[in-house]
Chain A
Amino acid sequence: MSDNNQPVLDIRAVSGGYGDINILEDVDLKVHAGEVVVIVGPNGAGKSTLMKAAFGLVQVNAGEVLLSGEKITNISPDRLVHKGMSYVPQERNVFPTMSVQENLELGAYIRKDDARAQMDRIFDLFPKLKERRKQAAGLMSGGERQMVAMGRALMIEPTLLMLDEPTAGLAPAYVHQVFDWIRAINDQGVSILMVEQNAKQALRIANRGYVLATGRNRHEDTGERLLADPEIADMFLGGR
């Protein structure tokens, strides 16, 4: 086990993007064990890119990424899954022609053991999925699909769950629920890093937040203090 001060995810001075063109410039970010960390900022700030860089989906050209002290810079996603990292993309995050249960089974692909116990835990978290376990994921509503997507990512019992705009495109009623789920998942000991457009609500449940703009760190603080900062509210959170 790593010592207590060692962050689960440690992004150090990372620059990167697609090919030689850097979208991120010298960005730092840490997620400590048990934390919910949210990345906020205006459109095009590089929020999702940062998360993808950590997950090996975007090339890191400088700096390094550590997972519980182990260097994982530019390691491909299929290997990171084995190290306990899970990622839920913003779009196309379910297998549409496959049933809910099959979606979860695929999430457990790398598990050698019977993942039944974990599936039951996920069904406890999302009872609706249990009801509809035979239904094709592509036929479900946006909110239900988000449950399937999170459920799939949780099947490996990750130490770090990364969510890319989990509330994007959802009805307002669902947005609240998604944040409740995230809290519930976090309560089970999973560290969470997420990118969110609904910055205010996200910051309310977050331990800490990072404000990103034009691919660089702007601010880093606890969720409460970021919410309270009038300058940040004006610039990034769409007024008060």
Chain B
Amino acid sequence: MEFLQLTYNGLVLGSILALGAIGVTMIFGVLRFAHFAHGDLMTVGAYVALTFVHWLAWPIWLAALPAIAVTSILAVVLDQLFYRRLRRVAPVILLISSFATALMLRALVQIIWGPDNQVYATGISIPYRIAGLVITPDSLKVLGATALMVVVVHLFLAHTKMGKSMRAMSDNVDLARISGVPVKRVIFWTWVFAGALTAVAGILLGVDTRLIPTMGWNILLPIFAAAILGGVGRPYGAVLGGLIIGLAMNYSVLFMPSAYKLAVAFIIMIAVLILRPQGLLKGISL
């Protein structure tokens, strides 16, 4: 029974990781760099939504809309201000820049919203109990929102010209360029796309737990692990990777202290990098 509960909890965490990892993997695929500020971009999304929930008493799903807009715009602005210019110098400088961006975003969140824990809704909601399984309404929101987002992402990537262009650039930038794909425009929309997903992931993380300025940073490593496990540049792989990492992190409490959940994600990531660097979906379409 404990196993079943861990599975459920793992899927909830995995959903959040999956949404974060789709953004990371598309940035990694299209722009060829690991975006270290991704976790903190999640944090920004979560806090922007908090503002609308607290000030205007909007329901969380409505507050998600301005949060998505702000985070997407912020992602584009960061690219235009910093990353775009550095792409020409040396790719690895981008890593340092994104690391700096991560710290700046976190500092900004702390300055604007304060360093303390916050929640979207106070009060206790009564969990459902089904066959001994404890299911909180919040966790259902997370699963439902993730399912919806994955469908939207699928429709976008598989059926729109821009979605296909993103996948093409992630597959083979040079070939996309010589096919006439407008690289700069695709990069722009990749940031919008990743920013939107990041905001949703951040909000869901806030719904599932609570909001603190380090919330996104703390989850960055499992997100990278999910993206690498699924194969860099593979959005569907990122979803699969997110779920697997989420499950593994929860199952790990069966045989080690729960404080080391993070280490489980890390070890899986290192193992994948050594044994199967192309990720799980190597050589499989989609």
**A residues with CB within 8 A of B:** 55, 57, 77-78, 81-82, 87, 89, 92-99, 102, 105-107, 109-110, 135-136, 138-139, 152, 156
Contact = CB atoms under 8 A, between A and B. Distances in A.
A89 B285 contact: no
A106 B165 contact: yes
Contacts of A97: 167, 171, 233-234, 284-286
Contacts of B167: 95, 97-98, 102
Contacts of A109: 161, 165, 179-181
A152 B164 CA distance: 14
Contacts of B164: 98, 102, 105-106
Interface of B: 161, 164-165, 167-168, 171-172, 174-183, 233-234, 283-286
Contacts of B179: 81, 106-107, 109, 152
Given A78-B181, A109-B180, A156-B180, A94 B175 contact: yes
A139 B283 contact: yes
Nearest to A111: B180
A182 B134 CA distance: 65
Contacts of A81: 178-180
A98 B171 contact: yes
B180 A96 contact: no
Ranked 10 nearest A-B pairs via Cβ: A136-B285, A81-B180, A110-B180, A95-B171, A77-B178, A106-B168, A109-B180, A95-B168, A109-B181, A106-B179
A210 B171 CA distance: 34
B277 to A, nearest CB: 15
A105 B160 CA distance: 11
Nearest to A139: B283
B171 A96 contact: yes
A89 B234 contact: no
Given A98-B171, A139-B284, 5 more contacts: A57-B178, A92-B172, A93-B175, A102-B168, A136-B285
A118 B181 CA distance: 19
A105 B164 CA distance: 9
A4 B161 CA distance: 38
A133 B161 CA distance: 18
Contacts of B172: 92, 94-96
A104 to B, nearest CB: 10
